[in-house]
C-alpha cells in the first residue's frame, strides 16, 4: 500500500556523518524523500513526539541525547514504507539489532543513559500521521 512515514536521523547519526548513508538506504529501496529538514529539537517538540515515554525513568537521558545536536527529519513515501523502514532500521537495542540493518551496522551501545541508535521511524500508520503533523504540520 502506498503510504508515508516520518523518519529522523538522530544527533549521533548527524555527528558521525551518516546522513548520506541513511538517506541512500531509503533511495536504494526506491522510497521517495518527500520532505527533509535539519533542525535542533526543542523540549516541546520532543515531549510531543515521545509523549508515550515522557514518564519513563530514562526520559531525561533521551532528552539530553536528542537535544545534543541537530537532527535530520523527513517524510518518506512508497509501498509499505512504514514497516519497511522499521525493518531497515533494526530493533531498538543496538546489541540485538541484526547486521545489515542501520542500527545493526552503525549504532553504538548505550552511553549516558540514552540508547544512541542513529534513526527513528514511525511504528504504525497512526504514529506516522501524528508525527508528520507534529514535525511538518501536514
Ligand atoms: N536508555 C534507554 N533509552 C531507551 C529505552 N527504550 C527506548 N529508549 C530510547 O527511546 C527511543 C524511543 O523508544 P521506542 O519508541 O521504544 O523505540 P524505537 O521506536 O525503536 O526507536 C529509542 O530509540 C531509544 O533511543 C530504554 O529502555 N532505555
Ligand atoms: Mg518508537
pLDDT tens digit sequence for 2-39: 999 999 999 999 999 999 999 999 999 999 999 999 99
For residue 69, which phi and psi values (nearest 5 degrees)?
175, 175
Question: Would the annotation count 117 as a binding residue?
Answer: yes
Ligand nearest to the CA of 113: 1
CA of 63 to the centre of ligand 2 (A): 14
* Catalytic (active site) residue 120: yes
Choice among 19-23, 72-76, 92-96, 109-113 with the minimum mean pLDDT: 109-113
The CA-atom distances, in angstroms, between 2 and each of 7, 39, 41, 82, 94 are 16, 27, 29, 10, 29
Nearest atom within ligand 1 for CA of residue 52? 15
State the DSSP string of 55-114: TSTTHHHHHHHHTSS-EEEEEEEEETHHHHHHHHH--SSTTTSPBTBHHHHHPPPPBTTB
Count of other CB atoms within 10 angstroms of residue 29 = 13
Q: Residues 2-136: name the CATH superfamily.
A: Nucleoside diphosphate kinase-like domain (3.30.70.141)
Q: What is the pLDDT of residue 128?
A: 98
Select which of 71, 97, 107, 120 is catalytic. Answer: 120
Regarding the beta carbon of 46 and ligand 1, being less than 6 Å apart is answered: no
Pseudo-torsion of CA 82, 94, 116, 73, nearest 10°? -20
| Domain ranges within the chain, ordered by starting residue | 2-136
Q: Whose CA is nearest to atom 25 of ligand 1?
A: 115
Cβ proximity of 77 and 31 under 8 Å: yes
Q: For residue 48, what is its C-alpha cell?
A: 510531543
39-56, pLDDT tens digit by residue?
999 999 999 999 999 999
Ligand 1 atom at shortest distance from the alpha carbon of 66: 25
Amino acid at each position: 500500500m502506498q503510504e508515508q512515514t516520518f523518519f529522523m536521523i538522530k544527533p549521533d547519526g548527524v555527528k558521525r556523518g551518516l546522513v548520506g548513508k541513511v538517506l541512500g538506504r531509503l533511495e536504494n529501496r526506491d522510497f521517495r524523500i518527500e520532505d527533509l529538514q535539519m533542525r535542533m529539537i526543542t523540549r516541546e517538540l520532543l515531549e510531543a513526539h515521545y509523549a508515550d515515554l515522557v514518564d519513563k525513568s530514562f526520559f531525561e537521558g533521551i532528552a539530553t541525547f536528542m537535544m545534543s545536536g541537530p537532527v535530520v527529519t523527513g517524510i518518506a513515501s512508497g509501498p509499505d514504507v512504514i514497516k519497511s523502514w522499521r525493518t531497515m532500521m533494526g530493533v531498538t537495542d543496538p546489541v540485538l539489532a541484526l547486521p545489515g540493518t542501520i542500527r545493526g551496522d552503525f549504532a553504538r551501545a548505550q552511553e549516558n543513559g540514552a540508547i544512541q541508535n542513529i534513526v527513528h521511524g514511525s511504528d504504525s500508520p497512526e504514529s506516522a500521521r501524528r508525527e508528520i503533523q507534529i514535525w511538518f504540520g501536514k
